[in-house]
Amino acid sequence: MTDTNPAEEARALIACLDLTDLNDGSSEADVDALIERAQTPHGNVAAICIWPRFVAHAKARLPAGMKLATVVNFPDGGEDIEAVIAEAKQAIADGTDEIDYVIAYRRIDGDPGYAARQVEKLREAIGGVTLKAILETGELHDPALIEVAAVSALHGGADFLKTSTGRTQTSATLPAARILLRSILQDESGRALGFKPSGGIRSFEDARAYRDLADEVMGKGWATPETFRIGASGVLADLLAVADGKRAPGERPAGTGSAY
């Protein structure tokens, strides 16, 4: 978005944010606070992402137009697909719009078809609900395995490719993001697909870098809330600071020890 100013860019990034609270000790009060934060002076975020046990509570409080996302098989990426399906179906009954599913990423090396079949089973079980496949790219280490995971998830019917849970030593990285985006670009299914970097995105500069990469690979203007989400809990404050004109790009964000 070279033709826009930083405040406009920050507002556009807020609109692509999946504002997240997946803390182990999260409560209904925390979810209420998340919903309040999600309604900013510069527009609402795209979605909130919370634990399944809070979906019904949040659904009754969510403003019109904001999506509700939850996680299943999170964060371990286990292999009990029937348990995952049951959890997802309950979340859908409670009102979720989107399911973020951690694939069985440990099986990618040696048995990538397994992960694809698991995604396909979940896809069939949840119907048209948006399915984001979390690949845990930081644990795959080899770029070739990241590509295999991406293609496997897409073949299984995932609507979005998501980098990571944010619970591992390495979360989203730009090289991994490029692999996921290229896999989306090369997909021949004809389905509308999206991309979600998640984990370690803490500043306006971080978020903009992923947005710019998405537009570079997919074409300028591709990264909209329908195709591009940012999974983060802490970046909103910095996006608001830039949108308010309180911080210029390149300055140190408040509360950090580096330029980014």
* Residues involved in catalysis: 100, 162, 196
Query: How big is the CA angle at 55 (ends 76 and 102), to the nearest 5 degrees?
Result: 20
Write out the H or E segment, with its range, that includes residue 46. none
Measure Cα distances from 27 to 54, 80, 117, 146 in Å.
8, 26, 34, 34
Query: How big is the CA angle at 73 (ends 114 and 152), to the nearest 5 degrees?
Result: 30
> Which among 175, 213, 250, 206 is positioned nearest to 1, based on CA atoms?
213
**Cis peptide leading into 52, omega within 30 of 0?**
no
